[in-house]
Each structure stands twice: as structure tokens, then as C-alpha cells.
Amino acid sequence: MTPSPVLCRLWTRLAEPTLVRRSVLSVTVAFVLVWAVLLGYNFVNYKHAITNDPGLLKYGDALLDSLDLIADPAQAAAVVSATNHWTNIRRRQIGLLPGVAMHELRDSTSGQVVYVPTALQELGIPLSPPQTSSTISEPVVHGQRYRVYAGQTPRWTLRIVEMKRPDADYLRYNGRYLVPYLLLAAPFVLLPVWLSVRNGLRPLQQLARRIAQRNTDDLQPVGFNARHRELSPLEQSLDTLLARMRQKVERERAFVQDAAHEIRTPLAVITAQAHVMARSQSEEERTQAQAHLEQAIARTSHLAQQLLDLAALDEAQRPAPRDLDVAQWLRAALAQAAPQAMAQQIELSLDAPDTLPARLDLPAFESIVH
């Protein structure tokens, strides 16, 4: 099944790279980078907080200070049980922390357990040695890391155990948490960028339309008068290119005129000598006319070959100018042409200084001399 022409045109248009789409895509990538930076910043703050100022430590100290006002073990157990129940309800409602929080209360004097959940008993986390201040430890039990708060007063010893939140879980949650804010801000950033790029390209489109409407033989300056500084180099480059093309056309026109003038003389000689040969009654006159005719034909052939050689020297393929001693090169050329000149009884001479350095196009110079 072949796709419809409409779908093909739509796909071609969408696949075509555009500056507007590129700018919008760049801003979108910037949004992704902002999201990654914010996520990394929050993660660093989170790691710093749980290391240097953990909330579990503050929570445990506050609960332990409150329990220190209760002397009756039954009342203290009821308070810890209610606190344990309330804390886990809030954890389930918020849905951020894994597992449950488990509170254990002991009598500091006798070491007797006042309150302990069944799950904590089954977990079997060993007690830490008594400390002068509250501590946070992270033991590993059955391959799972836990965070354990341990605090003690003269009356009570409190332990709070919770499963440590994995870093990947924190990054996953906060990554999803930041996405709606970025999506909310995206239209307010992408729309101005799209409008600014679209409006910024409008002068360039106007310049393109003006160039497209010009005749093929119109090599005058564009005359766009770009107000934007970024478009000025483009306009100047176009005007410079058109100026070079005008100069090239003028040179070619002058070249054609000169070539026509140069080739007119041998053609006139050919015509005249052919007329002489046709009407001459003397063998000597016909022989002389034939010699002149052959010379004119040779000159015409030479001029035609020169025209072909010069036409082959395209501007893009023309070799770079080179430094040359013109006087010495001409002497060598005359020396090569001397035997042929002597055979035709032609005297060659060169009026030139000893040296004449110049920087020129050697193939074009050879064509002119020959």
C-alpha cells in the first residue's frame, strides 16, 4: 500500500530542517537540562540534609523529650503505640517513604521492653551500645538497609526504625514532581521564542522574494537596505557577487568584440585571395594568392584555437597568478619561434628591459603572446 501524495508532502515538509524548529528544539533541550539541574540540586540538598541534619533525629528527640514527662510505663506505651499508628497512617497518605516506621520503648533502668511492634521483634536488629547523645545508624538486615534512631534519657530508651529510602526512588519521585512545572512554563517560553525567530526570519524571506523576482539578466545591486545588522553582511556579499558578475559580463562582451575584430581581417584576406585565385589568368598570381590564402587560413585557425583556449579558462578553474620574469620568458619564447620566423623570412625583435618581474596568469599570457 503506497502512501497518499498528501502524506508524502506532509512528511517531506516535516522532515525538512528549519531554523524555527531548530530554535524551538534548542529551547526544549534547555528545558531538559534545567530539569536535570534542578533534580540534581534537590538530590544534593537531600543527601546533605539526611547526613548533617536528619529529620528522623529531630523527630526522635522531640518524642523522647515528650515521653520523659510520663512516669507510668502503661501510659508511655500507649503514647508510643498511638504515635506509631499515627506516623504510619501519615506515611501511607503521603506515599513518599517506603515501608513503615517502628517505635520501640524500653525502661532505661531495667532494660525491660515497654512497647515494641511485632515486625520489629521479627526483624531482630541488635541494640546499640548506650550513647551520651542521640544517634542515627544504618544497619543492613537481610540485604535491606535501615535507618535507626537511638536516644536515651534517665527514664526511657527509644528506638525508631524505618527502611532507608533508595536514591533511585527519590530521583524518580522528584523527577515526576518537577515535570508538571516545566510543562506549565514551556508554552510561555517556547511561544515567544517561536514568534521571535519567525519575525526575525521575515526580512530574510523578503530578501529571498526580491531576488526571486529579478530578471535573469538583471545584475544590478539588490538594493535591499537591510536594517538589521545580521543581514548587512549577506546583502553586501550579494552586491559584491553581482558586481563581479557585471564585470565578468562586460569583459566577455569586450572579448567577443575584440575577437570579432581580430578574426575579421584574416577572413577579409581569405575572401580577397579566393577572388584573386578565381579571376587570375597567371599561374604565378594564383600561386602567390594561394600562399596568402594559406597564411590567412592559418591565422584564422590560430585565432579560433586561441578563442577556444580562452573560453576554456573558466573563472573557477583558472590557476592562481604566479610570479614571472616577463622579459626572460619572452626571450625564451622568441628563441623557440626563431627557426619558423627565419623560414618565413620574418625578423623578430624584442624591446624589453633586462628583467621585468610581474604576477600574472601564465596560461592567459601564453595565449596572448602566441
For 345-356, write each residue's pLDDT tens digit. Answer: 777 787 888 888
Average pLDDT, the chain: 81
For residue 74, the model assigns a pLDDT of 93
| Environment class of 280 (CB within 10 Å of its CB; exposed 0-12, middle 13-18, buried 19+) | middle
pLDDT at 71 over 80: yes
What number is the average pLDDT over the span 317-328?
76
User: Given the DSSP bridges, would you call strands 102-107 and 156-163 parallel, antiparallel or unpaired?
Assistant: antiparallel
HSE of 34, CA atoms in CB hemisphere, 13 A:
13
For residue 160, the model assigns a pLDDT of 92
pLDDT at 99 over 70: yes
**Inter-residue contact 286 to 309 (CB < 8 Å):** no
The residue ranges of every structural domain in the chain are 18-53+168-213, 72-165, 216-312, 320-370
What number is the average pLDDT over the span 267-273?
75
Q: pLDDT per residue over 227-262, tens digit each?
A: 777 777 877 888 888 888 888 888 778 777 877 777
What number is the average pLDDT over the span 195-223?
78
For residue 14, name the pLDDT band (cuts at 50, 70, 90): low
Nearest Cα residue to 156 out of 120, 130, 122 = 130
| Domain range 216-312, CATH architecture | Orthogonal Bundle (1.10)
What number is the average pLDDT over the span 189-211?
79
For residue 311, the model assigns a pLDDT of 66
Instruction: Kindly state the percentage of the chain with pLDDT values over 70.
Output: 88
Domain 72-165 -> CATH class: alpha beta
pLDDT at 299 over 80: no
For residue 315, name the pLDDT band (cuts at 50, 70, 90): low
For residue 313, the model assigns a pLDDT of 59
For residue 54, the model assigns a pLDDT of 77
